[in-house]
Amino acid sequence: MSTSNIQNDKNKKLNQKYTVKNALVNYYLFLIFTVFPLFATNAYFNIRHDKYYLFIILSALIILAEAALVLSLKADNKNKLCDEPVMGVKKNIWYKSFSFTDWAMLAFLAVSFISSALSKHPLDAILGTAGRNNGLLLIALYVGVYFLITRYYYFMEYVFIALAGASAIVYLLSILNCFYIDPLGMFSRLTDEKTITDFTSTIGNKNLMSSYICITLPVFIAMSVHTKKSAYRAIYLTLTGLGFEALMTADSDSGILGIGVFLVIYFVWYSRKIARLKRFFLSLTVMLGCAKLLRLFSFLMNDKSKGMDDFQKLFVYSRFGFVVLAVVAIITVLLYLIDNKKPDIVLSRAVPITLGVFAVLCAIGIVGTVVYFSRIDTIADLKGFKGLLRFDDEWGTHRGFMWIRSMWIFNDFSLVEKLFGCGPDNYYYAFQPYFSGLQKYGDSSTNAAHNEYINYLITIGITGLLSFLAVLGGTITRAVKSAQKNPLAIVCVSAVICYSVQAVVNISQPITTPLFILFIALCEAVSRQTKLTGKNSFDVGEC
């Protein structure tokens, strides 16, 4: 029986009907997952605006449509409603069903509204015209679709298959573009080599492409572990391989950071159950194998490409990649043999705890090393590792310059500005005094801190940053709790975790951030449903 049929049977048992409101949400997700990533009207010149306006139109339509349905239902049932208790049961008060994440999302919107009202450039704060269009208008739409999805989402796997189909096109275009193959003819409309090198597929520059991969690739990996239908697993594994190839060709450290942390976290998560761990390692084998297929493709193209960083070359071009592939493949085979001989093995809780502690200690060690070479030993020759281990103005393609001065800006803020910032997406105005310093790095200005958390601190203040962190914390916490009963939660939260990690060195914008918000909403929808029913009502496999 297919996943969708199992889902339908379970929903019938729970007396859940697939209503028009549910259908509209799924149609909306289908369009955002398919049309939105591929939509571009004029090469790379207007990608951000193209997707920005498309998201506004689709989101406004779904909000208006759902509002009309709700109001019509209320009108039809107004004679049946009563403010007095009925049969000893009090009428449900709408806000009592709000979760911590719901309140955090409302707080995020409220702070953004206050910040816009107090801003010296209120119109820019509303529309985000001085930045990346991530102003109050876009934030309001984020919150609107969040509440629609969390209340009316109904699992249908075709939505995820649709995401896989669109992502396959995005990934393939990125791979082809890396080798100067341009099936859409977008390069022909560009005038300089730097633009051709930096921009790829239908997403935009390579950092945003990495951001897109950080949202979608984790979902495909997790779905390949949890989905029950073999045909779907084959699709997700195929996308896993293509996604990793696209990550190699995107050539952005933000993507490597996000996917790397995600893989460590999910390795720890899956380590207790051999049935899940074997599929996780299968996905790793597919990824590493596809990296070597990418090497073959590069050979056929006479190695004429935009180039890759040394870290990506380890997996694609070096012999070391074959060694890693062989080790992972052997582990995969062993895990399958063990699971075949003794199915459903569950290891001690000590296994993930030990692995988790080790991972945390490694992270602390890395941070400690950076602090040591940045604060204590500032003269040691780190050679090629200087850009990673010594934090200064040049760190992270001069992100250090922007981050350090962002802290200076925040320190000079008034109390009100510290609380509410200078207005959503108005980082450009706050950073103006330091534009001259950017010239030695080849930039004349910037409208983002290239760190979403610092960007929120400057633009919507401490209250805005805390509310955003509360949204993330609430989403992840509730998803992890729900995942014990409902594996779809761990699928959806994978995108949230991975995006949140890469956001440390990236920017919020209307190209990939809307997808991130949708997965926050999907996490909350699954958590709500699991809490209400106490059952795995969105069944995609064993927990």
Query: Tell me, what's the pLDDT at 433?
Result: 95
Residue 149 lies in a domain: yes
User: What does the DSSP 8-state code read for residue 84?
Assistant: S
Query: Tell me, what's the pLDDT at 451?
Result: 96
Does 267 share its domain with 316?
no
Does 216 share its domain with 173?
yes
Residue closest to 335 by CA, chosen among 421, 225, 199? 225
Does 42 share its domain with 189?
yes
Tell me the C-alpha to C-alpha distance, in Å, between residue 79 and each of 72, 89, 222.
13, 18, 47
Is residue 243 within 8 Å of 203, Cβ to Cβ?
no
Query: Tell me, what's the pLDDT at 14?
Result: 44
User: What does the DSSP 8-state code read for residue 86?
Assistant: B
Does 263 share its domain with 308?
no
Q: How far is CA 89 from the centre of its chain?
A: 42
Residue 142 lies in a domain: yes
Number of domains in the chain: 2
- Is 359 exposed, middle or buried, given 0-12, 13-18 or 19+ CB atoms closer than 10 A? middle
Residue closest to 493 by CA, chosen among 514, 469, 474, 513? 474
Residue 136: domain span: 3-74+99-272+464-533
Query: Tell me, what's the pLDDT at 188?
Result: 80
Does 52 share its domain with 122?
yes
Does 306 share its domain with 163?
no
Residue 8 lies in a domain: yes
Query: Tell me, what's the pLDDT at 93?
Result: 60
Does 176 share its domain with 65?
yes
The whole-angstrom separation of Cα 285 and Cα 315 is 12
- Coil, helix or strand for 89? strand
Does 215 share its domain with 262?
yes
Residue 88 lies in a domain: no
Residue closest to 279 by CA, chosen among 328, 224, 230? 224
Last residue of a domain, one of 303, 318, 346: 346
- In this prediction the pTM is 0.92
The whole-angstrom separation of Cα 172 and Cα 65 is 35
Does 218 share its domain with 268?
yes
Neighbours of 497 (CB within 10 A): 22
Residue 522 lies in a domain: yes
Structure tokens belonging to residue 173: 């275009």
β-partners of residue 273 are 346
Does 147 share its domain with 253?
yes
Does 208 share its domain with 334?
no
**Ranges of residues in the chain whose predicted pLDDT is under 70:** 1-16, 75-95, 384, 534-543
Query: Tell me, what's the pLDDT at 536?
Result: 56
The whole-angstrom separation of Cα 263 and Cα 268 is 9
Last residue of a domain, one of 312, 346, 380: 346
φ/ψ of 490, rounded to 5, equals -75, -25
Last residue of a domain, one of 346, 378, 400: 346
